[in-house]
């Protein structure tokens, strides 16, 4: 058969009918069939199998993909010398080299393909293509057939990061300490990451060795060792210092998917130790009374609050037992700083305070709130005292009135007359006088409206009524008595504070003049004890206590004495006056002797001239009250530069020389001399010689003493 020539065929029908001897051809038919053109053809189907069946459509790095190839002869000629190869370079083995028309066979590849990380990073399918070479049966050229590309999809990109932070110290840290950080970054995803960077809220700069991190790899990054300095706010917060480290990166696969992770390394801070120190500073108005406050003075306090703890304090408040709540600035008090506060309303020194003569003390309490503490606590107390003056215990007793019955016998009494004495009690000191009694040695204990007197107050006390006896008249002398004032000043003991005399002439059955010497001190408050500079005048009370009228009455004695008249009838009285006024001197007070006057009275009665006297009288001077006050000034000569300084603000050091100067003030009422000063740090002290008269603020004195 000639190739490509159609196959033809002829057909005829013959029969022998009755009419013919030979068969007759009745029909003829011819046909032809074309011969097929040779078409060599092979189909190749590639199958892929992943070693982990669960990842057949999402192969991961390390998975093995094995391939199978189904080769089918879908041509019209037998194919010989069949060989299969693929793009993965496998060795492909087929069961036989020839395939008859319509036959198939399966070839296998070895060893297969192992998925690498680059495949996953690329994010595209792993593909393979099979190529079959063959020769058609009967000869001819080698033909090649290629399979469709077969692919296995790799796992989708899942970028993931982890960051672990380690601080350079385990703590607890204190103010000013520094913290550095180390970071460990792990790529927990399935793709390589790039553009990697680490930031930290507590570190200005974080350094990493690279910006690319393969899947499954680890990288160490670092901050400066002094990245973060512990501040006061950290200590105040009282909780561990937490950094905020964030690592960011992008996947290298298509889409550049972001990945990030966050972590921190808490570092504990030192425990809060709140501590406040309170200093209370007393003040007195007027300032000159700071060493000895007096009634009516104002006492107030200022305060210094120092934060010696390790946390900022809030809501600083002060309360004082003497002046009440103080006022402090409404601002926080930082560590190691001092706040100035003012006290409450001034306390007015009362008379009772002055009487007690004890220092006025106030205990101040400082409260504040530490960070994180909801209520304030008390952190310190301070007690400050103000010395109270010792006060002056003094009282005066004076005869106020003699009340005689009958009233006409006021100048001279006789047997059977009755009289009582009114005494004026005056508190002339600066202390309250208590437990006051007035006792007259003739009439007995007087009745007073009260038993206490505030300074400058007075009251009148009255003795019981005394009935004049005949024996009083028979003695022929004035009825005299001494009343004694006793009391308790301040916290002192009960003692005598003064006396007052009474003098009442008695009638005599003979011509008689009775005389009394009266000294008057100005000011009147000093009448019982004259002081330096007081004025003193003398008067003389003359009474006709006899039974005859006197004429030509005259008085002589201290100074020139003038009487208002020269005639006195029975029971008549008059007061004569000396012209010799006197001012009490310091020398007289220093001597401590009473000041006196004398008088002699002459007159003529019907029976002739008479002389009475001399009669004397005295006025006491103030009792000696020696008091000294000393003030000291320290001068420092530093060893280093030998420069003197009045004030020692920064403290002294070994080798510095201290020099002392003393000023001594005479605050008493008598002159003092032979002054000496003793000081443990100055064994030799020299003072100016001389004596010191008393003076509130001496000018020529005090002497200056040096040690």
pLDDT at res. 668: 78
| Structure confidence at residue 32 as a pLDDT band (50, 70, 90) | low
Taking Cα atoms as reference points, which of 249, 245, 285, 277 lies closest to residue 263?
245
Please tell me whether residues 233 and 334 are part of one structural domain.
no
Domain membership of residue 391 (yes or no) is no
Q: For strand 608-619 and strand 377-386, is the pairing parallel, antiparallel, or unpaired?
A: unpaired
The answer on pLDDT for 176 being more than 60 is yes
> 608 and 500: one domain?
yes
In percent, how much of the chain has pLDDT > 90? 69
Does residue 536 surpass a pLDDT of 70?
yes
pLDDT reported for residue 648? 44
CB within 8 A of 61, min separation 6: which ones? 115, 116, 117, 119, 120, 190, 215
The pLDDT assigned to 20 comes to 55
Looking at residue 645, its pLDDT comes to 46
* Residue whose entry in the numeric block shows the structure tokens 């300095």: 229
Residues 372 and 449 both lie in one domain: no
**CATH number of the domain bearing residue 302:** 2.60.40
Q: Is residue 393 part of a domain?
A: no
Ranking 200-204, 378-382, 648-652 by mean pLDDT, the lowest is 648-652
Domain that holds residue 497: 398-619
pLDDT single digits (tens) 444-489? 999 999 999 999 999 999 999 999 999 998 888 899 999 999 999 9
490 and 422 belong to one structural domain:
yes
187-210 residue pLDDT tens = 999 999 999 999 999 999 999 999
Residues 347 and 294 placed together within one structural domain of the fold? yes
pLDDT given at position 638: 61
Q: Quick one: pLDDT at residue 649?
A: 45
268 located within any domain: no
Q: How far, in Å, CA of 264 to CA of 262, rounded? A: 7
Residue 271 lies in a domain: no
Phi–psi pair at 248, nearest 5 degrees? -125, 145
Given 90, 121, 152, which residue is the final one in a domain?
A: 152
270 domain-assigned: no
For residues 649-670, average pLDDT: 73
Q: Supply the pLDDT for residue 15.
A: 64
For residue 269, tell me if it sits in a domain.
Answer: no
Asked if residue 372 and residue 282 are part of one domain, the reply reads yes
Query: What is the pLDDT, as a whole number, of residue 650?
Result: 47
8 A C-beta contact, residue 605 and residue 511: yes
Bridge pairing between strands 494-506 and 513-522: unpaired
- Is residue 630 within 8 Å of 664, Cβ to Cβ? yes
Task: Report which of residues 645 and 86 the model is more confident about.
Answer: 86
Same domain assignment for residues 138 and 169: no
Instruction: Check pLDDT > 70 for residue 652.
Output: no
| Per-position DSSP letters for 259-296, written without gaps between them | EEEEE---BPBPPP---EEEEEEEEEESGGGTTSB-TT
Is pLDDT at 24 greater than 50 in this prediction?
yes
Do 175 and 247 sit in the same domain of this protein?
A: yes
pLDDT in tens, 588-646: 999 989 899 999 999 999 999 999 999 999 988 888 878 777 777 777 776 554 444 44
Domain boundary among 152, 179, 199: 152
Return the higher-pLDDT residue of 659 and 569. 569
Within a domain: 445: yes
Position 107 scores a pLDDT of 95
Q: Which of 10-14, 15-19, 490-494, 683-687 has the lowest mean pLDDT?
A: 15-19
In a shared domain, residues 134 and 249: no
Average pLDDT in the 546-574 region?
94
Say what the pLDDT of residue 73 is. Answer: 94
Do 454 and 565 lie in one domain? The reply is yes
Which tokens belong to 19? 């009419």
**Domain count across the chain:** 6
Most confident option among 77-91, 303-317, 590-604: 303-317
* Average confidence score pLDDT of the chain: 89
> Is residue 561 predicted with pLDDT exceeding 90?
yes
- Residue 255 pLDDT class (50, 70, 90 cuts): confident
- Domain end residue (candidates: 110, 132, 152): 152
Are residues 522 and 402 part of one domain?
Answer: yes
Structure tokens at 177: 């300490």
Q: Is 316 found in the same domain as 228?
A: no
For range 291-316, the mean pLDDT: 96
pLDDT > 70 fraction of the chain, expressed in percent and rounded: 90
CB 292 within 8 A of CB 389: yes
* Phi-psi map region of 140: left, alpha, beta (phi>0 left; psi -120 to 50 alpha): left
What is the rounded CA–CA span in Å between residue 347 and residue 365? 17
Strands 218-223 and 206-207: antiparallel
| Pairing of the two strands 395-405 and 418-427 | antiparallel
Taken as a whole, the chain contains a residue count of: 707
Residue 395 CB coordination number (10 Å): 23
Mean predicted confidence (pLDDT) in 121-139: 92
Rounded to whole angstroms, the Cα distance separating 87 from 466 reads 156
Q: Is 521 exposed, middle or buried (0-12, 13-18, 19+ CB in 10 A)?
A: buried
Looking at the whole model, is its pTM more than 0.95? no
392 domain-assigned: no
Whole-number pLDDT of residue 700? 41
Query: What's the pLDDT tens digit per position in 494-511?
Result: 999 989 999 999 998 889
Gap between the Cα atoms of 334 and 428, Å rounded:
55
Average pLDDT over every residue of 70-85: 94
Q: Could you identify the residue written with the tokens 């204190």?
A: 174
């Amino acid at each position: 058969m000639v190739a490509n020539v159609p196959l033809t065929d002829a057909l005829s029908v013959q029969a022998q009918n009755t009419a013919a001897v030979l068969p007759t051809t009745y029909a003829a038919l011819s046909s032809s069939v074309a011969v097929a053109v040779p078409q060599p053809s092979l189909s190749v189907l590639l199958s892929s199998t992943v070693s982990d069946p669960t990842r057949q459509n999402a192969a991961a790095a390390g998975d093995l993909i094995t391939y199978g190839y189904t080769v089918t002869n879908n041509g019209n000629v037998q194919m010989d010398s069949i060989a299969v190869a693929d793009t993965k370079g496998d060795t492909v083995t087929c069961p036989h080299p020839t395939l008859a028309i319509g036959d198939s066979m399966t070839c296998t590849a070895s060893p297969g393909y192992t998925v690498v990380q680059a495949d996953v990073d690329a994010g595209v399918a792993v593909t393979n293509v099979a190529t079959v070479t063959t020769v058609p049966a009967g000869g001819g050229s080698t033909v090649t057939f290629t399979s469709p590309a077969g692919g296995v999809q790799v796992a989708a990109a899942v970028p993931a990061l982890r960051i672990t932070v380690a601080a350079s110290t385990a703590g607890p840290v204190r103010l000013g300490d520094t913290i550095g950080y180390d970071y460990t970054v792990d790529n927990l995803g399935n793709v390589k990451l790039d553009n990697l960077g680490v930031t930290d809220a507590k570190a200005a700069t974080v350094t990493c060795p690279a910006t690319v991190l393969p899947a499954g790899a680890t990288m160490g990054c670092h901050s400066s060792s002094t990245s973060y300095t512990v501040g006061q706010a950290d200590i105040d917060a009282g909780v561990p210092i937490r950094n905020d480290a964030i690592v960011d990166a992008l996947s290298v696969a298509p889409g550049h998917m972001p990945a990030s992770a966050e972590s921190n390394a808490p570092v504990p801070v030192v425990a809060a130790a709140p501590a406040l120190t309170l200093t209370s500073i007393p003040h007195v108005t007027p300032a000159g009374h700071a060493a000895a406050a007096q009634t009516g003075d104002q006492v107030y306090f200022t305060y210094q609050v120092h934060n010696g703890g390790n946390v900022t304090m809030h809501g600083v408040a002060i309360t004082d037992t003497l002046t009440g709540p103080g006022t402090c600035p409404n601002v926080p008090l930082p560590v190691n700083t001092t706040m100035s506060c003012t006290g409450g309303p001034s306390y007015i020194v009362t008379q009772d305070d002055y009487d007690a003569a004890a220092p006025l003390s106030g205990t101040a309490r400082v409260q504040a709130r530490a960070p994180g503490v909801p209520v304030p606590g008390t952190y310190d107390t301070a007690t400050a005292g103000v010395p109270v003056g010792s006060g002056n215990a003094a009282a005066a007793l004076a005869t106020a009135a003699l009340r005689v019955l009958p009233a006409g016998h006021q100048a001279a009494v006789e047997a059977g007359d009755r009289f009582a004495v009114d005494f004026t009690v005056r508190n002339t000191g600066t202390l309250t006088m208590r437990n006051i009694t007035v006792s007259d040695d003739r009439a007995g204990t007087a009745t007073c409206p009260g038993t206490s007197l505030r300074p400058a107050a007075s009251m009148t006390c009255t003795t019981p009524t005394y009935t004049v006896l005949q024996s009083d008249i028979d003695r022929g002398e004035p009825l005299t008595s001494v009343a004694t004032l006793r009391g308790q000043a301040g916290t002192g003991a009960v003692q005598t504070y003064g006396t007052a005399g009474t003098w009442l002439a008695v009638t005599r059955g003979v011509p008689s003049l009775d005389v009394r010497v009266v000294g008057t001190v100005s000011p009147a408050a000093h009448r019982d004890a004259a002081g330096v500079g007081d004025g003193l005048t003398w008067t003389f009370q003359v009474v006709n206590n006899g039974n005859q009228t006197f004429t030509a009455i005259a008085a002589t004695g201290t100074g020139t004495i003038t009487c208002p008249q020269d005639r006195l009838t029975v029971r008549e009285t008059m007061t004569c006056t000396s012209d010799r006024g006197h001012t009490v001197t310091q020398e007289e007070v220093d001597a401590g002797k009473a000041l006196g006057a004398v008088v002699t009275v002459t007159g003529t009665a019907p029976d002739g001239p008479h002389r009475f006297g001399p009669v004397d009288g005295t006025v006491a001077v103030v009792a000696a009250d020696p008091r000294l006050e000393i003030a000291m000034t320290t001068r420092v000569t530093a060893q280093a530069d030998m420069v003197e300084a009045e004030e020692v603000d920064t403290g002294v050091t070994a080798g510095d020389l201290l020099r002392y100067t003393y000023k001594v003030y005479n605050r008493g009422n008598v002159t003092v001399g032979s002054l000496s000063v003793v000081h443990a740090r100055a064994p030799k002290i020299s003072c100016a010689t001389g004596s010191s008269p008393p003076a509130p603020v001496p000018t020529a004195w005090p002497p200056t003493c040096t040690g």
